[in-house]
Structure 1
Amino acid sequence: MRRTTAIAAVITAGMLFTTTACTDDDITTAPSKTGAAEQPASEPAEAPEDEPTKATVAKVGDTITLKGQEDGEQVDATLKKLVDPAQPKDEFFAPEDGNRWVAAQFELTNTGTKPYADSPSNGAGVADADGQRFQATFADTKAGPSMTSDAKVPPGEKALGWITFEVPKSSKIVTVQFGLNSGFADQTGQWKVS
């Protein structure tokens, strides 16, 4: 009995340590690089008088640099496109009645020193204007090829693909999020989409 109590105390202390160790979560909304859509190609760039103003909220086309759980894990995540609603690729699969699919195209460039190995859709999510949050679903859409579920990306290389979310038809999607290590990394990138 005494041994069981001691083991339970150690397990409880371990869980408390694990819970408190995960408090450094950071949601990053500032882009490290802005997309080409930020400034139309037809307008010449003006010479700034002072230091140029850096965008503070990432949008579609912008890149956010994210670090993983281990040293050397780093990815430049770019939300390339968002299709809302996304049409099913075939007639066999469709969202449930009252729902629609939203598809986000991500380009994940390994800028770290270690291979990026992950299931990217596990770390992706969307939120609507009411604060409801939705995780990725397995669905192929006409938007394009789905993101691999087993990415193994060497340093300097990239993975490109679509991640699909099933949301209520009435939801207005306002942000898209992405994090490394199936979403368990301390950093999460967030893009404003409306």
Structure 2
Amino acid sequence: MPQTASWARGDEPRPAVAAGGRRGRIGEALETQGLEGEQLTVQLLEVQDPADFLFGAAGYRLEEGERSVVVHTEITNRGTVPFASLPDNYLELVTDDGGTVGKAPVSLTSRPPHRIGVRPGETLGGHTVYVLPEATHVVAVRWSPRPEPDDRTLTWSVLG
């Protein structure tokens, strides 16, 4: 599988929030609400696929036939209610067969993870690591404030 890396460049103007706020592409910021009414903007900044060299550099080993993916997201709390959850708790990869891949229980020192909580007016970023079969074709990244997708769920296409 060819290597791909997509990201929003810091020297480019920040993209406007996508109309409708539910679907976007890498670099776009999408608005939603948290479970307690938090006013949130989530931006998908980068998808590094594969990220095997980062995974290995952190001292982890992949099994034969596996690859790792690193996703960089940023969350802004635009409201007055603190967001008390881990921002990437339900951030998952969506595959071409409609399946999903949840995050791996690892973090990379070179790509700091999210930390719990985003205070009103605060913007925080973090990286989420996934381990999946080499042949899996990822088509989107999906964020949700709860385990099952609902009307607050955000989806970014990662197809070229």
| Alignment-derived partner of residue 113 in structure 1 | 80
| Alignment-derived partner of residue 74 in structure 1 | 39
**Alignment RMSD:** 2.7
SS of alignment partner, residue 116 of structure 1: coil
SS of alignment partner, residue 113 of structure 2: coil
| Counterparts of 1:154 and 1:91, CA distance in 2 | 30
Task: Give the unaligned 5+ runs of structure 2.
Answer: 1-6, 14-18
Note closer, same or farther for the CA distance 1:62–1:191 as it changes in structure 2 (3 Å cut).
same
| Counterparts of 2:145 and 2:88, CA distance in 1 | 10
Deviation, structure 1 residue 182: 6.1
User: 5 Å matches for 1:42-53?
Assistant: none
SS of alignment partner, residue 123 of structure 1: coil
Q: Report the TM-score, using the length of structure 2 for normalisation.
A: 0.76
Please identify the structure whose Cα radius of gyration is greater.
Answer: 1
- The Cα offsets for residues 35-78 of structure 1, whole Å up to 9 and x where unpaired, read as 967xx88xxxxxxxxxxxx699411100111111223x121000
Deviation, structure 1 residue 167: 1.2
| Alignment-derived partner of residue 180 in structure 1 | 145
Which structure has greater helix proportion? Answer: 1
Find runs of 4+ consecutive structure 1 residues off by over 4 angstroms.
54-57, 181-186
Code of the residue aligned with 1:179 in structure 2: it is S
Task: Give the unaligned 5+ runs of structure 1.
Answer: 1-34, 42-53
- The Cα offsets for residues 1-31 of structure 1, whole Å up to 9 and x where unpaired, read as xxxxxxxxxxxxxxxxxxxxxxxxxxxxxxx
| Alignment-derived partner of residue 112 in structure 2 | 145
Note closer, same or farther for the CA distance 1:111–1:91 as it changes in structure 2 (3 Å cut).
closer
Aligned length: 143
Q: Are the aligned partners of 2:8 and 2:46 in contact in 1 as well (CA < 8 Å)?
A: no
Q: Percent identity?
A: 27
Deviation, structure 1 residue 177: 0.4
| Alignment-derived partner of residue 65 in structure 2 | 98
Q: Report the TM-score, using the length of structure 1 for normalisation.
A: 0.64
| Alignment-derived partner of residue 27 in structure 1 | none
- The Cα offsets for residues 126-159 of structure 1, whole Å up to 9 and x where unpaired, read as 01112221011122347621222xx222111011
**Which of these residues, 13, 24, 31, is aligned with residue 65 of structure 1?**
31
